[in-house]
Amino acid sequence: MNAELEMPPIAESSFQRRFFLTWVGLGAGCVAAGLTVGPRLNHSYNPWLSVVLGWAVYGCSLLLAQVVLLRIWKTPSVTSAVVFFAVTVGGMGLLTVGVMKSIGPTYLLVPSTEFSGLATSVAALYVGALLWALWVGISRKRLGKFGIGEPS
């Protein structure tokens, strides 16, 4: 055993479980709040496609959260958490809203103003992802280095 390697203060599985469950709650709250508040701001309603796509972006972010937590555990950096998670979730959301605003009125016969719930939920999900990624990165950085992912 190398005397220079330190033991981590918490186990990797507890770190991942803690922050993943936090994202499950925070992300679901952001999507639900966005789908609820968005139509009220624009005096419209949520077509079923907005609801499905809002939750689909959230589902993709759940898959991405596991990958980000594995990466952050091995390389503690706040910047990588934000780049790998928040920017990717925001990009998925912008792509979804952009596609729906462009094809919705033409092919789906849904006015573009009816997608305000989707846009608000994606924006709330991005803000939540940004805050969560910063929190995960800072929390992991506080744990310090303990020899994981470094060559012997």
For residue 84, what is the DSSP state?
I
* 152 three-class SS: coil
* 114 three-class SS: helix
Q: What is the pLDDT of residue 29?
A: 97
Between residues 106 and 5, the one the model is more confident about: 106
For residue 4, name the pLDDT band (cuts at 50, 70, 90). low
* 2 three-class SS: coil
Helices (H), ranges, the chain:
12-42, 48-74, 78-81, 87-107, 116-143
The answer to the question of residue 25 being in a domain is: yes
Q: What is the pLDDT of residue 5?
A: 57
Mean pLDDT of 90-116: 88
The answer to the question of residue 57 being in a domain is: yes
Q: What is the pLDDT of residue 147?
A: 62
The answer to the question of residue 148 being in a domain is: no
The answer to the question of residue 33 being in a domain is: yes
Q: What is the pLDDT of residue 152?
A: 47
Domain count, the chain: 1
The answer to the question of residue 150 being in a domain is: no
Contact between residue 44 and residue 113 where contact means Cβ atoms under 8 Å apart: yes
Q: Is pLDDT at 2 greater than 60 in this prediction?
A: no
* 4 three-class SS: coil
Closest CA to 15 of 124, 150, 130, 148: 148
Domain that holds residue 96: 12-143
Torsional sign, CA 137, 58, 99, 46: negative
* 75 three-class SS: coil
Could you tell me how far CA 114 lies from the centroid of its own chain? 24
Q: Is pLDDT at 18 greater than 60 in this prediction?
A: yes
